[in-house]
Amino acid sequence: MNFKVFDTYDEVSVYTAELLAEVVREKEDAVLGLATGSSPVGMYKELIKLHKDGKLDFSKAKSINLDEYVGLEGSHEQSYRYFMNTNLFDHVNIDKKNTFVPDGTVDDLAKGAEKYDKLIESIGGIDVQVLGIGPNGHIGFNEPADALKMNTHVAELTEGTIKANARFFESEKEVPTKAVTMGVGPIMKAKKIILIASGENKALAVKSLMDDVITTKIPATLLKLHPDVTVVLDKEAASML
Ligand code: F6R
């Protein structure tokens, strides 16, 4: 794992946008594995800037998102489809038909999950996967557990994750308790991974990426087995290193 520490979140955003832009410039039809949440918001802003300045073309790129809340339509302001449209897709020239987010509203979620895995395969896997990290070390919504799942599945969110995500909702009661999430399989098979962490509440999870332990109780530690991971941190997230 390659660690990069910057003084500010803005620098983290500029740097990670450049890393992702490099992939798209090298391969115009790259498959971008994308995350929602606070961590990549600055990176998405920088990508929009690069595009508006004529330095980045998404016309052939595809994207595949990590997760979506169960029960929220894409038009719901807290859905991850809505997040991706408003934070990135509406502002760049990616073809929305080539942007994929799991559907948390289908009747048969298990079948939907299977379809999502087939989709990932059919578009050739992921060239670059952007990840945030939960304070508990989750990646996607692969929460700490005795075992992790390879494939897309329905995950019960932990109490801590629900509390952490309540900041986006009117109250904690409104936070969905389940999400459809990519499993660790396609994440680990991505050619390149960029993990972004900002803020002191991530410092402990980030510290666990530095030691010699791999445990399903801290899912992000699995990334130690991947050959090309760049962990990009602000100084608060790096404060325990
Ligand atoms: C989001 C996702 C989550 C977040 C993580 C960190 O698509 O998969 O794993 O990356 O919960 O969230 P933030 O960035 O909001 O601290």
Q: What is the pLDDT of residue 192?
A: 98
Task: Determine the pLDDT at residue 234.
Answer: 98
Residue nearest to atom 3 of ligand 1 (CA): 140
- Residues in contact with ligand 1 by the CB-under-6-Å rule are 35-39, 66-67, 132-134, 138-141
Q: Which residue stretches of the chain have pLDDT < 50?
A: none
SS (H, E, C) the chain: CEEEEECCHHHHHHHHHHHHHHHHHHCCCCEEEECCCCCCHHHHHHHHHHHHCCCCCCCCCEEEECEEECCCCCCCCCCHHHHHHHHCHHHCCCCHHHEECCCCCCCCHHHHHHHHHHHHHHCCCCCEEEECCCCCCCECCECCCCCCCCCCEEEECCHHHHHHHHHHCCCHHHCCCEEEECCHHHHHHCCEEEEEECCHHHHHHHHCCCCCCCCCCCHHHHHHHCCCEEEEEECCCCCCC
Specify the pTM: 0.97
Share of the chain above pLDDT 70, in %: 100
* 136 carries an active-site annotation: yes
CA 207–ligand 1 middle distance (angstroms): 17
pLDDT number for residue 5: 98
Could you report the per-residue pLDDT of 158-190, keeping only the tens digit for each? 999 999 999 999 999 999 999 999 999 999 999
| Residue 76 among the catalytic residues | no
